[in-house]
Amino acid sequence: MSINTESKVVLITGASSGIGEATARVLARKGHRLLIGARRADRLEALAKQLREEGGTVEFTSLDVTDLEDVRAFAGLALEKFGRIDVIVNNAGVMPLSPLEALKIDEWNQMIDVNIRGVLHGIAAALPVMKKQGSGQVINVSSIGGHQVWPTCAVYSATKYAVIAISDGLRQENRDIRVTVISPGVTTSELAHTITDPDTVKMIDAFREVAIPAEAIGKAISFAIEQPDDVDVNEIIVRPTASAY
């Protein structure tokens, strides 16, 4: 059974930094055709320019994953530019951790909107296209926080557990769509920069002392994409070797 090395049309949300940016770099260099989206269009433009200069095929657009119509337009742009959608990587996420007693309810809602609704919106936009094609792959980025809960992580972990549940339900309901969950351990990214609770900031600095580069997650995503069509890699957990978490 041969590895699937054909060029695929891949949509990536949250592609302006961290795992999304690194994944775009990995996949572009492997010859996949990309549509990248995020709220910071200026960073997307710079990334697309660099990847094109290296020979990549990359389109970009601003994207708010909490807006269903915005995500549908994102999928529509992929069809306009490339004629199909082979893979969507639902990567956009936020992580403003805090203890529940801090009652940062706006931040809870933000995590629910981006981390859960954003994934559902990506599925809603891409799944009809994939079903019509008779093939496709949905890759959802969860976290080690989707497997274990720590103090300050209750709501964040809840959203990442939800990603795993949604993904497995999608897998069971579809025999022609591949579904993959990528669960990163501590990874170099801007996620921790959204934390506003001062005690949690101190804790997370220690928690993140041992981290792997975001490229490692991009390579895991690439591995899942490149498997033969009848092989569905359902979940990959990628941690730093030295991590206790």
Active-site residue set = 156
Q: What is the pLDDT of residue 193?
A: 63
Using the CB atoms, write b or e for 117-140: b if 16+ within 10 Å. Answer: bbbbbbbebbbebbeeeeebbbbb
**pLDDT band at residue 244 under the 50/70/90 scheme:** confident
Using the CB atoms, write b or e for 22-59: b if 16+ within 10 Å. Answer: bbbbbbbebebbbbbbbeeeebbeebbeebeeeebbbb
Rounded to an integer, what distance in angstroms lies between the CA atom of residue 168 and that of residue 185? 20
Of 83-87, 120-124, 172-176, 197-201, the range with the lowest mean pLDDT is: 197-201
Q: What is the pLDDT of residue 234?
A: 98
Q: What is the pLDDT of residue 3?
A: 44
Sorted by where each starts, the structural domains of the chain and their CATH numbers stand as 9-238 (3.40.50.720)
Q: How far is residue 104 CA from its own chain's centroid? A: 24
Given a contact cutoff of 8 angstroms between Cβ atoms, the answer to whether 37 and 63 are in contact is: yes
Nearest to 54 by CA among 25, 34, 78: 25
Residue 170 reports pLDDT greater than 50? yes
Phi, psi dihedrals of residue 65, rounded to the nearest 5°? -70, -15
Q: What is the pLDDT of residue 1?
A: 29
- Our separate counts of H helices and E strands in the chain read 8, 7
Confidence (pTM): 0.94
pLDDT digits (tens, 9 = 90+) for 25-69: 999 999 999 999 999 999 999 999 999 999 999 999 999 999 999
